[in-house]
Chains A and B, each alone.
Chain A
Amino acid sequence: MPDISTLAILSIALPWAGAVLIWLVRDRQPQLQHALAVVFTLAGAAAALAMIPQRSEVNVLDFPLGSAFGQVTFLPDGLAVFLAVVATTIGCLAVVFSVDYMKGEKQLGRYYAYVLFFIGSMVGLVLSSNLLLIFVFWEITALCSYALISFYNDDPKAVTAGIEALIITQVGGIGLLAGALFLYAYQGNYDVPTFLAGADRLPPNVLALMAFGFLVAAAAKSAQFPFQTWLPDAMEAPTPVSALIHAATMVNAGVYLLARFYPAFEAVPNWKLAVVSVGAITALMAAVMALVSNDLKRVLAYSTVSQLGYMVYAIGAGGIFASQFHLLSHAVFKALLFLSAGAVIHAVHTRDMREMGGLGKQMPLVKVVMIIGGLALAGIPVLNGFWSKELVLEAGHEGGPLWAWLFMLVGAGLTALYTLRFLTMVFYGEPRSGQHVHDAGPAMKVALVPLALGTLTTWLLAGSFGHFLGKALPEGHDVESTGALLLQVATAPTTFVALAVVALGLAAWWQRARLAGLAHSLRGIGTMASNSFGFEAINRAVVSVTEASAESLRTTHNGVLNWNVMAILVGLVVVLAILALGGA
């Protein structure tokens, strides 16, 4: 059995090696490319799983890079290994799914190379404990995300969506980079464990800057308010990519960042309140938007944004365990939902739910697993989404303000409502498209079944998951056994309140005909929601202002050497003048 540092390197390097090999194979042998992708992601997943028993609370693998960059260090503690396992296993299932989904597509090499490159970088992002290295991996994942969103690069919508995602996540990247540089300036290195152990050594205002910088980074990466617009647009990507990057892994990086640095920023005034507000606003707003969208993948994307809001909210309320447990549940059931949605879309060749309907008969397995995933999303008891969402709500009730808790409750009801809506529109009712529908391929089913089983069972891990996270949880969190934890959830008053709200949401869907008057009076909100509450307009305004200023600055870039030298020289004069005045 290799030791932990070897495994950490392997779980990054295996997917990367696979990416290079697939790229080298070129597109003449698609079968070989499929096989290589599956083999290397499987190996990466195996390496990540093998880290579980060996996780450590201290840095492993010290590789010096000189004084400016610090050491390449990895910290495979519970939190990191957990996310590495999620990234590699769900990555592996998404790749298996792709074998059917991407069959016959052109440029498979580009597709698989980026997917595998992404998986390795995601593992690197969560494992490394050098903040600069975290930033580097953070940006690599953003780059892969961009390239995969724009995979169909002859479609202008896809290209625009990719660039939008890249730019918005870059805004967050600036926050992370600023935080990293502040850490270097005040601590002398980029080591995260040192920082977490003694964050109070930094001046409070610097700590606050870092805390809010990281919040911006996390909000941009996890598509939280006010950066949420890129994720729904990112649905132009091939569906396995949406399942992997935009539901199960990369968007969780923001939540991971907040959870990882929670001990350091906990004491920063107003930080927790800001995190709670971001989470609550996002969760409610995205749920409303999910209710009015007619594009199957966009509904799922809004619901991802909303569920990420739940996780961020839980972190702000101090419930790191609840947030990470919800992350686990969400990663499993949302990957399941996306992959089954992919199977549906692959079958009917449209994403518009109004053209679907009555698909249950043609695709029985997909129907069953998607309903399992949907019920977990809605928070129906004994599925994993129920337990983790109740934990989140309980944590929020204890540690967050009341208004945010009410937001989340309403969000939970809306979640149930829109889940039922899209399940009904897809699988029940009269078939609306006359075209022939073919069932999911075998590889798709192979990928769907484990996820469905996971959705049914991961809540049983609640207790051991607490042990597993160990020291990554803030002090004072008492780890309980599965039974005690479940009993606590099952008897807590918040659970019944939440269940009542969920039931209300379900009832609202059954009685939708009678509620037509109410729905009519709320139409204003619906219209606003389908226009994403004006955020698209804000985006467009930012773009046009940027373009206009670039156009007017164009005269300064005339490409003539003399003027360039002039600019350099004027800069020199200014610097010299400042030095001369300052030295006097």
Chain B
Amino acid sequence: MMSLSLPLMAAVAVLGLLGIGLLGLLVTRNLIKVVVGLQVLVKGALLALLLAGRLSGQVQTGQTLALTVIVADTIVSVVALALAVQVRRQFGTLDLQALSTLRR
């Protein structure tokens, strides 16, 4: 029987976080909630990187890559949030449906 080992639990966490993040991106209609979904998604990716580093015996490389991802993700979130604030000021809404200009 496959024991509840650490790698298994980490893998479950990765898959769960990715699934929840994607689900969030699919169902939300709020621009800020989109950023929340992205954050969840990226946390899954971070754990996946560390897990891969651990399984291949290159923990430190995994860590450095995770660090880069954290930096990139934080910047993305910051810019996205600033954008959301401006969108709210300009258009008065954060609803994706209302913001779409391609509708006919």
Contact = CB atoms under 8 A, between A and B. Distances in A.
Interface in B55-99: 96-97
Interface stretch (A63-71, A443-451, A560-568): A560-568
B48 to A, nearest CB: 15
B101 A559 contact: yes
B96 A561 contact: yes
Report whether over half of chain A's contact residues are helix, strand or loop; otherwise say mixed: helix
Contacts of A559: 100-103
A311 to B, nearest CB: 47
B87 to A, nearest CB: 13
A559 B96 CA distance: 9
| Range class of the A interface residue count | 10 to 19
A557 interface: yes
Contact of A562 (B96, B101, B103): B96
A554 interface: yes
Contacts of A565: 22, 25-26
A557 B101 CA distance: 11
Nearest to A563: B26
Interface in B28-72: 28-29, 34
B27 interface: yes
B100 A558 contact: yes
A471 B102 CA distance: 57
A560 B100 contact: yes
Contacts of A558: 100, 102-103
A555 to B, nearest CB: 8
A560 B102 CA distance: 8
A490 interface: no
Nearest to A566: B26
A200 B2 CA distance: 55
Nearest to A569: B22
Contacts of A554: 104
Contacts of B104: 554
Interface in A62-107: none
Contacts of B97: 560
A558 B104 CA distance: 8
A565 B18 CA distance: 13
A575 to B, nearest CB: 15
Contacts of B22: 565, 569
Please indicate which of the listed interface residues A558, A559, A561 has the most CB atoms of chain B within 10 Å of its own CB. A561
A561 B34 contact: yes
Contacts of A569: 22, 26
9 contacts: A554-B104, A559-B100, A560-B96, A560-B97, A561-B34, A561-B96, A562-B25, A562-B96, A565-B22
Q: Which 9 A-B pairs have the closest CB atoms?
A: A559-B102, A559-B100, A565-B25, A560-B100, A561-B96, A562-B26, A560-B96, A565-B26, A558-B102
